[in-house]
Each structure stands twice: as structure tokens, then as C-alpha cells.
Amino acid sequence: MQETTLVLAILLGAGFAVAKLGQLLRLPSVTGYILAGLVLGPSGLALVTEDAIGSNLEHFTQIALMLIAFGIGEHLDIKSLRHSIKSVGSIALAETSGAFFFVAIGTFFLAMATEVGQPDWQISNYVVLALLLGAVSVATAPATTLHVMRELKAAGPLTTILMAVVAVDDGLAIMMFGMAVSTARHMVGVDGGSFLTGFLSCMFEIFGSLFLGVLTGLAIDFIVNKLRRQSEMLTVGLALLLLCGEGARHFGLSPLLAGMAAGFTIVNRDYRDVRIFRALNTFEPPIYVLFFTLAGAQLHLSALALAGWLGLLYFFLRVFGKIIGAYTGARLTDATTSIQRYLGLALVPQAGVAIGLIFLIQSDPDLAVFSSIVTPVVLAGVVISELVGPICARFAVEQAGEAAGRGRESAFPDLSEQANNATVWNSRDFHIVPWSWEQLQQPQSTTGFVLFGTAHGATAPGLARMATLFAHYYGALPLSVQVQTSELATKNGYEVDDPLVNHSKVLKEIDSLGYQMVSEVVLAEDVASGILASSRKHKTWSIVLGYPLNGSGRGFQQVVESVAQKALCPVIVVRFSGVLHTERILVPIVSSNDLNSVSEVINSLSGIGQHRVTLLRLMSSNVSDHELVLTERKMFSWAKKEKLISHVHCQAIATDSRQETILHESCQHDLLVMSASESQWFKRIFFGSLADGVAQECKRPMLIVYRPRS
């Protein structure tokens, strides 16, 4: 058949039907897809021709590869892998080295014994053949592995390590292949085939691919974060991913590595908005069926006959090397028993990358004499690996007890309608609820101060209240700091109101809380220098700054970053919006470090009046219910240690989008308290800032806490 539409219908229908039949025998769906393609392709009924596979359907393969690579990147969460990064590196190096050396040594001796190759071949020719086969054997099949994991809804240590190792494998495969080709060309006497040239070429491909992927990930994250409809996310995300793939191919880079880097970038942003992955998941199933069915149609059983014993040895030595290498790497790093026993089995699949590498050998005229042997041997290994590999991967995950993990929907509803119907707050309408609780008792002897700025009349009373509440916790006094500089009004749009009017408002607010105010005027070149000078002059527990309601936020952000980098105490930035009321407080946290950062603020507020604090732990959408329960228990233990049991409610929630979840939960609270992200510009550009993102969209007052650098 040549008609593309008819071929698509046959491939989809046959792939689905055979996969369903395979499930009755407990075979992975991907094995069914490949078998269906094998039956329909040239090695079977020949209903799907080579022309249809190559020219008409190639773009479906390219789309699928980008989606697969992007999906693997989702599993490379730095925080999740932080404790296992040593294991990932050791296992990846051990299993790739194991496959390379076992295949290279074994095929070298068998090739010499059976006199494969041309009559005039010498030992050096067999060494070159062995190097090429060893380098190709390193590659795995990320598509097959990812599909099996998703079908089983696998989750756990083995799954996490497996996806990270598979991602690392392709980078190592490209690097080892490049060095092997350079060595081979040098051994056959080709000029320009130096080891250094090959190494630099590999580094360009690897780092160029990663750079392109990071740029794509940042672009997707920037745009998708501003969208609400899943259809819009799907359209934009798919367009940018395909553009990334075509760009990689145009510049001679690796689309797989670029796609992984894009997914890696998004999942490690501070926002952690992974809705784009969920949107693409709805688009993937028919593309995946086509991809694997086409892969099966491209398999030629004749390769098994051509390869003979060398092909079988290649397959078994590669599997043996992967299993022994993975076990050794896991054992050296004290990985869990399940990882030691079963990870190697899950690395059996081999397909796309390996086929791409043998095409590179075929296109190199200096190595053409070797391609006639390498091609059938590797294809024979791929045929067996693609049929047996998914079964091995499934067996490994099931034996490790990580199969049949519960899928999880988004932890919050679609907010598109709510966003359209929501009342829009104007920050200029901000006002303070008068203090209605009992006045605070100022201690007879105080130790130190809590500094706060009074540059803006609209925010000065709010800052005074927050500073007084913090001062009460520390047994200190609120200190009003007015920085005077002639250039202040013209720098970065950071304007100052009448200090006398501000002083009167602040004095009245602090007096209503039962405290006395101390004030100070500081002469300085800029606002940041003045605040820092005052904090170093006095014993300062914390510095409270308020985002201006009017004027540019850019100048203020520069002040905050400058103060936060140099201050010896916490810096608390207050962003005002709507009504300043502190009875119901929401504290979103991503890690235990966030709890440590905001602990003093929580203690300050919870000990006054009738404050109620909700600790909201934001976790990945694929975590189990058991992990959620354990996390809530840990937070409860922390609250008990801090003597906050009567004031704090602990909740762990799995979410696809941290920012959207916080915004949704904030509707039920009066005040948000968040820990600030890294202030270094590079980390903020790459990882972003969850607190800043929430502050731009939230319609509630916020406290953003910057901890001093240790």
C-alpha cells in the first residue's frame, strides 16, 4: 500500500488490536505494536512498503521521538535525584562500560575465529570492527522504556533511577561512538581522524544539543505559564518542540538530547508548572502506536540470517554487560537491593539511537567496509531487543514492586473559567483592617530592633504593623528607617513620599498595637546602602521592606536583591494587595529548607490573636498517597517541635503546577508567606522564582522571606 491515509489506518488498527491480544498474555503494549508492524512490513505480509515507511511517514517518527525525549526529561527532577545522583552516575558509567567491553571483546574473538570480513583483514581491522560494535551497543531505547513505565504507571526508586540512567545513556552513547569512530579512522590510516578531533566533535554535539534544549524549555515555560487552556498549551508546546527538533537536525545536533534538556529545564523550574506534559500526554497515544508499529515494520528478519552467530553473540553480550555493569554500579553506591537486581534487565531494549549510529557508519566512506558487517549484526540485536526488551523491562518493574502505581489527575480544577469570572483587585485599592485584637504588651527591656522602611505613605502603616508583630516575637522594638538621598527620586522610578506624613501614619499604627516607635533618618548614596548601614549600626533581628503600590517594581527589586545579598539577618518583603488581614495564613513550601526559612515568621504571627496557619507542601503529581501521608506526618512533627500544633494545619498535595495550586488555595486565605528563591541572577534565570511568579498574580498580601547567606 502506498496511500498514506490508508497505511495510517491499518497501522493504528493493527497495532491496537495486537497490543490488546498481547495484554492477554501479559505482554507490554509496545511489544504488540512492534509485532503488528513486523507482520505488516516487508518481513511479513508486505502490506506496508519501504517507500511508505521512509518518505511518507518519517515525520511521525520525528514527532514521536521529540515527545519521547521531552517526556524523559520530566523524570530528571534535580531535587528527586539529589540523593541518588552518585548512584545514577556510577550505574550509567558501569553499565555502558560493561556493554562496550563485553561486546567489543566477545565480537573481536568470534569475528577472528569465524574469519568474518575480507580475506586480507589483519588484527587491526578486527579491532576496529569490535570498537564500532561496542560503541553502538551502549545505546538503549528510551522510547520503549518510557512507554512501558507509563503503561505500568510505575513509580519508585527503581523507576526514578532507570529514567535518569536512560537519559544519561544517550549522551554517553554519542560520546563513546564519536571517540570510537575517530579511533577507527585513525587505525585504518585516514588523515584527519585524530582522537582530539572526534572528541571535540562529540562535545559540540552534546553541549550544543543541551544548550538548544535549555533555550526551548525556557521558551515553553515562559509562554505556557501564562496560558490557562490545555488546548493552547498543547499547540504552543508542540510547535516549539518540533522547532527544536528541526533546529537540532539542521545544525547536526541530537534531537533526543535537545528534547530531554527541554523537559529537564521545565521540570526543574521553581514554578514547576508541568501542565505542558499532561497536555502532550493527551496527544501522544496515537503517535506512539504509529511510532512503534513503524519501528516493527522497519525490522528485517533477514538481518538475523545475515548476522548469524555474531548477531546472537552481540545481543547476549550486550544484555550481559548491561546487567553486570548496572549491578556493579549499584552495589558500589549501596543502592537498594531491587535496583541492584533488576535495573540491568530494564536496560535491555535497544532501537532508535543504535539504528541512527549504524547509519552514520554507512555514510562514512572510510568505514564502508565495516558497515556491511556492523549493520546486520546491530539490526539483529535490535530485532531481538525490541521483542524481548519490553518484557524484561516489565518484569524488572513488577519484581521491584513499583508497577500499577496510581495515576493522578491534577490536584486542582481547571481555573480557566474562574480566571475569566474572577474579580480583579487593583493594588491601589489596598487598605488595612484596623487592629481589633488586644493590644500587645511591650516588654520592659528590649533587645534590638526590627527595621522597616517608610518611603511610601500608602504602605508605611502596613509595614509598621508587620514589623511590630515581628518585634514582639523577638522582644525588640520596631525601627522606622527613612533613607535620604538627592538622587533617590530619579533612580529606577523608586519614588519617596513626604516623610512627615509617613511618620504620622506609622506612629498612629504602632501606637494602636501598644508599642512605641523608634525612628531614624539615614543619609546614603542609595536606598540599599542606607538600610544596610542602619542594620549594621543596631542589633537587627530582621528587615521589613514593602513593595511600592505605585511606580516601577524594577528599582525596588534591585534594592531587595542588594539588601538580601549583604544583610546579616532575614529580609522580609511585603507585597500589598487588597486588604491586609492576617487571620488565615497560607505557607506554601517545596522543601524542608522552605520551612526553616519561614519558621520565625510563622512563630511571630501564630502567637498573636487568632491566627490559623496552613502548611501546604507541594509535591510532584506522580507521588503515591503513602508519600503524601508520610510528608504530612513530617510536617506535623515539625509543628509539634515548634509548639504550633494548635495553630497549624498540615497538608501535602500532588500538583502539576505549583503556581496555579497556590493561587487556587490563596482564595481561602488572607495572607501568603513564602520563602524566596536563589538571588543569583543565573539561577533565577534558569530556575525562575516561584515566589515572584505568585506575587505577580496573587490577589492577597504576601510576605516573601529572604534568608541571610551562610
pLDDT for position 408 = 35
Q: Of 316-320, 336-340, 429-433, 505-509, which has the strongest mean pLDDT? A: 316-320
pLDDT for position 356 = 60
Residue-wise pLDDT tens digits, 651-697: 898 888 888 888 888 888 888 999 887 655 556 666 677 888 888 78
Q: Are residues 481 and 606 in the same domain?
A: no
- Rounded distance, CA 325 to CA 496, Å? 66
Tell whether 115 is covered by a domain: yes
Distances 234 to 67, 68, 259 between C-alpha atoms, Å: 12, 15, 16
Identity of residue 13: G
Residue-wise pLDDT tens digits, 533-545: 888 888 999 999 8
Residue-wise pLDDT tens digits, 305-339: 666 788 888 889 999 999 999 999 888 888 888 88
Residue-wise pLDDT tens digits, 365-412: 777 778 778 877 887 787 788 778 888 888 888 888 887 643 333 333
Query: In terms of Cα–Cα distance, which of 410, 454, 427 is closest to 550?
Result: 427
Higher-confidence position of 98 and 23: 98
Q: Are residues 500 and 612 in the same domain?
A: no
Contact in structure between 95 and 325 (CB atoms under 8 Å) = yes
The size of the chain, in residues, is 710
In the chain, the number of structural domains is 3
Tell whether 433 is covered by a domain: no
How wide is the angle at C-alpha 321 spanned by C-alphas 318 and 322, nearest 5°? 85
Query: In terms of Cα–Cα distance, which of 420, 650, 681, 468 is closest to 565?
Result: 681
Q: Are residues 123 and 267 in the same domain?
A: yes
Q: Are residues 291 and 255 in the same domain?
A: yes
pLDDT for position 691 = 82
Q: What is the CATH number of the domain that holds 105?
A: 1.20.1530.20
Q: What is the CATH number of the domain that holds 565?
A: 3.40.50.620
Residue with cell 534558569: 686
Distances 121 to 107, 124, 126, 128, 190 between C-alpha atoms, Å: 15, 8, 7, 11, 16
pLDDT for position 311 = 82
How wide is the angle at C-alpha 51 spanned by C-alphas 48 and 56, nearest 5°? 90
Q: Is the dihedral of CA 384, 387, 393, 399 positive or negative?
A: negative
Tell whether 603 is covered by a domain: yes
Domain that residue 293 falls in: 4-399
Of 149-163, 373-387, 489-503, 650-664, the range with the lowest mean pLDDT is 489-503
Tell whether 434 is covered by a domain: no
Strand partners, 572: 544, 705
- Rounded distance, CA 103 to CA 183, Å? 17
pLDDT for position 240 = 92
Of 522, 540, 572, the position where a domain reaches its end is 572
Of 553, 572, 591, the position where a domain reaches its end is 572
% of the chain exceeding 90 in pLDDT: 7
Task: Taking residues 345-357, report their average pLDDT.
Answer: 74
Tell whether 436 is covered by a domain: no
Tell whether 161 is covered by a domain: yes
Of 190-194, 349-353, 532-536, the range with the lowest mean pLDDT is 190-194
56: cell is 511518507
Identity of residue 164: A
Task: Taking residues 175-186, report their average pLDDT.
Answer: 72
Q: Are residues 534 and 553 in the same domain?
A: yes
Q: Are residues 633 and 612 in the same domain?
A: yes
Strand partners, 446: none
Q: Are residues 681 and 551 in the same domain?
A: no
- Rounded distance, CA 461 to CA 467, Å? 10
Q: H or E segment at 370?
A: helix 368-399
pLDDT for position 486 = 57
pLDDT for position 419 = 34
Of 399, 432, 455, the position where a domain reaches its end is 399
Q: What is the 3-state secondary structure (H, E, C) of 212-233?
A: HHHHHHHHHHHHHCCCCCHHHH
Pairing of strands 702-706, 571-575: antiparallel
Task: Output the average pLDDT for the chain.
Answer: 78
Q: H or E segment at 544?
A: strand 540-546
